[in-house]
Structure 1
Amino acid sequence: MRAPSFRCTDAEKGNNLILHYYSEREGLQDIVIGIIKTVAQQIHGTEIEMKVIQPKSEECDHIKFLIEEKESEEEAFYEDLDGFEENGTQETRISPYTFCKAFPFHLMFDKDLMLTQCGNAIYRVLPQVCIGIQSHDRCPF
């Protein structure tokens, strides 16, 4: 038996990926979809959609899957804040969701030095530090 091989390329739109699946065995694409979805959810805490965009054929010696990250409730919550206007002016800023993804080890304090937000990496390692913070302020994604 020859083991299958995989490689990823960037999709043309967004943060999506194209997974290229090479195998001599036929009919295993549904198993691949299940394994990749489970790994994304259990290891990375990410829900994904995955579909075949090009089956194996005479023109293509492998199967291509499109992998799209599902928008979580937290993302939708933070994306609603993206257009937040302060003092009547629209400020250019990154979304809180993007900030949390970029800085998983951050701590945020208010003017009284009370902890108001912690990154997901800190929450996983030291959950007792983040006690009392609202769940959507912990960046748990």
Structure 2
Amino acid sequence: MHTVDSDWRLIGTMFLWLLPILISLKFQNDFGTGLVFFAIFCGMVLVSGVTWRILAPAATILVVVGGSALAMVTSSVGRQILEHVGFQAYQFDRVDTWLHPEQDTTNQGYQLWQSIKAVGSGGITGTGFN
């Protein structure tokens, strides 16, 4: 039978499979890949049929935590707090480039700026071969 208790057991089991991967990525200092694995985990939980009584609060918490982290990155006091937690300067640069790709179009924001130009110049029908 499909109950809230069985949904929590399913999420716990899935998280136990995820935990060794996240721990090994922490030792490798690879936060980005950890986020990718966590996103895959969230997608698996979403399609596994878990009840909305669990999904709605979890999604709300994820949005609040993500929004708070983004707000902390954009403020100087928040950056100091995140630096004490262990965030590196290159991580701040990546978020800054993502938020404002037009400010550094020759270095870190080059790829993002070129993709924006390509999508913008293609229009509805696109350009180039076919």
TM-score, shorter chain, exceeding 0.5 = no
Q: TM-score, normalised by structure 2?
A: 0.22
Q: TM-score, normalised by structure 1?
A: 0.20
